[in-house]
Every structure is written in structure tokens, then in C-alpha cells.
Amino acid sequence: MILLYLSKDIQLLQDEIRIIRRELHQIPELAFEEYKTAEYIKGYLNKLKLTYHDKIAGTGIIVLIQGTEGKKTIGFRADMDALTVEEENEVDYKSIHKGKMHACGHDGHQAILLGLAKYLVMNKEKLRDNVVLIFQPAEEGPGGALPIVSQGYLKKYSIDEIYGLHLFPEIPEGKMGVRQGPMMSQTGEFDITIHGKGGHGAMPHNTIDSVVVSAQLITGLQAIASRSINPIEPVVLTIGKVVAGEIRNVIASEARLEGTIRSFKQEVHDTVKERITDYVKGLENIHNCKITLEFRDMYPAVTNDSFLTSEFIQSQESSVIQIIDPIMLAEDFSYYQKEIPGVFFFLGSGSDHYYYPLHNSRFNYNEKILGYGVQAYLNILKQRDALEN
């Protein structure tokens, strides 16, 4: 059941926001390939007579909407990229790009931001402070936020604080999930290759069995979370891919493992990496083999500013706010938060009719919630005294 209040102006924009979403949904593009998406966004901004800076981090777009006073600048971000998923929804706005789909709601995020742009243009006399809209490529990876930050765009536009949202089917539609402090995990990846010595399965004494070593590695690494980390600190260490061998009676000379680390504190993340390294060195000595190990630090933890989160909660209707537990998903919005205060929140999209999870080939949602995303952003601006009621 949708409970959020919608202003009359947003009610009038609902159909337009829905059309934007559906048109974007039909043209999903992968990370740093969002060329048609960028052209669509620029076309809409041109209709609004808004100036913008394009080709940000390749395909991104930044829009500055100036207020009447401009005492501060508030940023809002939407991600642009889609996934390598073949859509199974039978709808008239189905993806026309084979093997690609907006299965994570980024079409909706962009529609919300364009709806916000339309409202602010229609009510420009009410806007006191500056607003910057960031259409960011490549959230799904390798990440478009970091190049935007590293190339100095937050400083160039003098952004003081920033907000972002994500559709979330685990929260009922019309509700919003948020929390102060760490909300989404830091994430990293690791690759392990075990270089053994292959041979006949009937003569294992003449080999170094990479599969046996990998089995010990898989089970042994799980003790890191349970024995090397304080049990009150959340941490996940998952090996999701193992590749070894081709024939049942041949001992594999090589095994490859790929895994992920999730935590909320840098010191926990560092400890896990140190213990993985120690364990790998120990197995090398025990089995007289060589093991190569490579780490890649990915996104930092999404950590919501305490004061701005309190402001956000006050800006919304109390009946729609859910204070959620931290989750082990990751988001590159965190790179903005490492530079300036910010709040990231979930906009509920779950219902009896729309229940498929994110990244599913049948993911969809009630498009009415997009208006509530715009309303949530407007409520933030009003709470921060950047927009008149």
C-alpha cells in the first residue's frame, strides 16, 4: 500500500515521469557505454532549456540549476547503466537491446532525477540554493563515481552535500529505508590461482593436487570470519567461483578461485586480507606448491552523515520511514560520501504484484513510486531551507 503524500505538482508530472522511465527502459546500456541514454537525457534537458556538462567520466552528465540566493549547493545523483540480463517481462516497453536490461531500477532513478529537474524549472522562483544533478555511468562496475570525484567535479560545482536513492523490492512500496552511519558494506575482490602438479588419478603421490589444496583453502578461509574478527563486527568472505580439472581420472595441475570480501570497517577489511595472505603462504609450504593471490579493493562502505540523515528523516512523513539494518550490498555512491556529507536511502518497490529481486530478468515495479522519489528529494530541499514551500 502506497502511503506517501504527493504534492499536486508531482501528481501532474506522474505521467511524464512514467513515460521517461519506459523510454529509458527500452534502451539499456552497460557501464561506460551509456551513449543512447546520455543522448536521451540531454534531449530532455534541452527541452527544459537547462545547460549541462556532458561526457563526464565518459558518458555522464552534470546539470547546475542555480537558486535565487545560492548560499549552498545540494547534489543529487542517479546511476545510468544496465545489466547483462535478457529481459523476460512481457511489456510493451521491453528492452530492445538483446541481452541487456534495466534490472536494477536505474531507469527509474534517472526518471526521478529528470522529474526533479522539470519541477525545479517549473518552480525556479522558489529555489533558494543551487542544485546539481549528477547522471553517473557505471555504478554496476567498475564504478563511475570515483572518476567523477577524482576529476574534481564535486569541487568544481562546490557541492556541499549530496543525496541518492535506490529502488528496493525488499521494502514495501511507499516506504523508505535509511540509517545513520554505515548502511552498505565496503567490498573487495580476490583471485587465487593454485599451481600444482598434474598427473594420473591413480598415482596421486606423484602429483600436487590443486583441487585438494583448493578444498582446504575454501574451508580454511571461513575460519577467518569466525576466529580472526571480533564477532560483533559484520564480515562476509565468500568464494563464489572455483575452476579446476577437465577429466575425472586426471589430477588438475591448476585451480582458480574467485571471491569477495564485505565489511563495514577498513580495519576489518585489512585484517581479512592479511589472514588470507597468511593462509595462502601456509598452504604453499605444506603442499610445496605456488599460489598466486591478487586483491582488488572495490567500493568503500556507504556511510550516511548523522546530521543529514536526521534532517532527511524529519523531512519525510514519519509513517513511511523504516530504520533498516546495515546490508552487505555495495554502492559506489560511497565515493561521494568520502568527500562530502551525504545520505543514501532505499525507495521501497516491493508488493504482492512486484516481488522479483534486483538483477532478476523479471524485475519490475509500480511506476507510481517514481513520483515519491521526486517528492522525497523535494522534501529534502525544503528541510534544508533550499526550496520554499
C-alpha closest to that of 386 among 75, 103, 147, 9:
75
Query: What is the helix (H) or strand (E) element at residue 346, kind and residue range?
Result: strand 342-350
d(CA 266, CA 30): 30
Query: Is the CB of residue 106 less than 8 Å from the CB of residue 34?
Result: no
Which cell numbers hold the place of 326? 546495515
Determine the Cα–Cα distance for residues 18 and 371; give it in Å rounded to an integer: 9
Q: Is 129 a catalytic residue?
A: no
Catalytic residue, candidates 81, 129, 139, 140: 140
All residues at 6 or more sequence positions from 95 whose CB lies less than 8 Å from its CB, including other chains: 25, 26, 27, 28, 82, 87, 101, 102
**Does residue 79 carry a catalytic annotation?**
yes
Under 8 Å between Cβ of 200 and 249: yes
For 199, phi then psi, to 5°, come to 175, -175
The annotation places the binding site for Mn(2+) at 104, 106, 140, 166, 359
- CB distance 307 to 256 below 8 Å: no
Options 29, 33, 34, 79, the catalytic residue: 79
How far apart, in whole angstroms, are the C-alpha atoms of residue 295 and residue 216?
A: 20
Q: How far is CA 132 from each of CA 161, 240, 288, rounded to the nearest angstrom?
A: 10, 39, 57
Radius of gyration of the chain (CA): 24
- Of residues 69, 74, 75, 210, the one with CA closest to residue 134: 75
Angle at 299 between CA 273 and CA 158, to 5 degrees: 140
Per the annotation, binding residues are: 104, 106, 140, 166, 359
Asked whether 256 and 191 are in contact (CB, 8 A), the reply is: yes
Catalytic residues: 79, 140
